[in-house]
Structure 1
Amino acid sequence: MSFKIAIIGAGSVGFTKKLFTDILCVPEFKDIEFALTDISEHNLGMIQAILDRIVEANGLPTKVTATTDRRKALEGARYIISCVRVGGLEAYADDIRIPLKYGIDQCVGDTICAGGILYGQRNIPVILDFCKDIREVAETDAKFLNYANPMAMNTWAAIEYGKVDTVGLCHGVQHGAEQIAEVLGAKSPRELDYVCSGINHQTWFIELRLNGRAIGKDELVAAFEAHPVYSKQEKLRIDVLKRFGVYSTESNGHLSEYLPWYRKRPDEITRWIDMSDWIHGETGGYLRYSTETRNWFETEYPQFLEAASKPIDPARRSNEHASHILEALETNRVYRGHFNVKNNGVITNLPQDAIIESPGFVDRFGINMAAGITLPEPCAATCMSSINVQRMSVHAAIAGDIDLLKLAMLHDPLVGAVSTPEEVWQMVDEMVVAQAAWLPQYADAVPAAKERLAKSKVKTREWAGAARRNVRSIEELRAEKAGLKQAG
Structure 2
Amino acid sequence: MSFKIAIIGAGSVGFTKKLFTDLLCVPEFRDIEVALTDISQHNLDMIRAILEKIVEANGFPVKVTADTDRRRALEGAKYIISCVRVGGLEAYADDIRIPLKYGIDQCVGDTICAGGILYGQRNIPVILDFCKDIREVAAPGAKFLNYANPMAMNTWAAIEYGKVDTVGLCHGVQHGAEQIAEILGAKSVSELDYICSGINHQTWFVDLRLNGRKIGKDELVAAFEAHPVFSQQEKLRIDVLKRFGVYSTESNGHLSEYLPWYRKRPEEIARWIDMSDWIHGETGGYLRHSTETRNWFETEFPQFLASAAKPIDPARRSNEHASHILEALETGRVYRGHFNVKNNGVISNLPADAIIESPGFVDRFGINMVSGITLPEACAATCMASINVQRMSVHAAVSGDIDLLKLAVLHDPLVGAVATPEEVWQMVDEMVVAQARWLPQYADAVPAAKERLAKSSVKTRDWAGAARRNVRSIEELRAEKSALKKAV
Shift of 1:424: 0.1
Structure 1 residue 341: Cα displacement: 0.1
Distance in 2 (CA, whole Å) between partners of 1:443 and 1:89 is 22
1:143 aligns with 2:160: no
| Distance across 2 between alignment mates of 1:9 and 1:38 | 5
Find the residue that maps to 2:103 and give its secondary structure.
coil
Are residue 28 (structure 1) and residue 24 (structure 2) matched? no
Q: Could you tell me the percent identity over the aligned residues?
A: 90
Q: For residue 413 of structure 1, what is the aligned residue in structure 2? A: 413
Match of 1:358 in 2: 358
The answer as to 2:260 corresponding to 1:260 is yes
Question: What is residue 437 of structure 2 aligned with on the other side?
Answer: 437
**Which amino acid is 2:444 matched to?**
D
Partner of 2:422: 422
Separation of aligned partners in 2, 1:289 and 1:429: 28
| Superposition RMSD in Å | 0.2
Alignment of 1:5-404 (within 5 A): 5-404=5-404
Distance 2:29 2:184 in 1: 37
Q: Which amino acid aligns with 1:170?
A: C
- What is the rounded CA distance, in whole Å, between the counterparts of 2:310 and 2:303 in structure 1? 12
TM-aligned CA deviation for residue 120 of structure 1? 0.1
SS of the aligned residue for 1:338 comes to: strand
Deviation digits for residues 222-255 of structure 1 (CA, Å, limit 9, x no counterpart):
0000000000000000000000000000000000
Q: In 1, distance between residues paired with 2:297 and 2:226?
A: 37
Distance 1:272 1:487 in 2: 28
For residues 99 and 209 of structure 1, the distance between their equivalents in structure 2, rounded to whole angstroms, comes to 41
**SS in structure 2 at match of 1:375:** coil
Name segments (4+ residues, structure 1) moved above 4 Å. Answer: none
Q: Quote the residue 1:458 is aligned against.
A: 458
Measured in 2, the distance between the counterparts of 1:163 and 1:3 equals 22
Give the secondary-structure state (helix, strand or coil) at the position aligned to 1:444: coil
Per the TM alignment, residue 65 of structure 1 is displaced from its structure 2 partner at its CA by 0.2
Structure 1 position 198, deviation (Å): 0.0
> Alignment partner of 2:36: what SS?
strand
Whichever residue aligns with residue 107 of structure 2, its letter is C
How far off its partner does 1:384 sit?
A: 0.0
C-alpha distance in structure 2 between counterparts of 1:434 and 1:275, whole Å:
30
**For 1:34 and 1:213, how far apart are their aligned partners in 2?**
43
* TM-score normalised by the chain length of structure 2: 1.00
CA distance in structure 2 between the aligned counterparts of 1:470 and 1:175, rounded to whole angstroms: 27
Give 3-state SS (helix, strand or coil) of 1:190's partner. helix
User: 5+ unaligned residues in a row in structure 1: which ranges?
Assistant: none
In structure 1, what residue type is equivalent to 2:410?
A: L
Match of 2:340, SS?
Answer: strand
TM-score (norm 1): 1.00
Q: Which amino acid aligns with 2:408?
A: A
| CA deviation after TM superposition for structure 1 residue 281, in Å | 0.1
Q: How big is the shift at 1:82?
A: 0.1
Shift of 1:51: 0.3
C-alpha distance in 2, partners of 1:448/1:19? 44
Following superposition, the deviation at residue 385 of structure 1 comes to 0.0
Letter in 1 for 2:279: I
Counterpart code for 1:255: L
**CA offsets, 1:202-240, max 9 Å, x none?**
000000000000000000000000000000000000000
Look up the equivalent residue of 1:422 and give its one-letter code: E
* Amino acid paired to 1:438: W
Alpha-carbon separation, structure 1, partners of 2:251 and 2:101: 25
Please give the alpha-carbon distance, in whole angstroms, between the structure 2 residues aligned to 1:73 and 1:292. 30
What is the DSSP-based 3-state SS (H/G/I as helix, E as strand, rest coil) of the residue aligned with 2:372?
A: coil
Whole-Å separation in 2 of the counterparts to 1:287 and 1:59? 38
Deviation at 1:32, TM superposition (A): 0.2
Distance 1:269 1:337 in 2: 34
What is the CA-CA distance between 1:408 and the residue it aligns to? 0.2
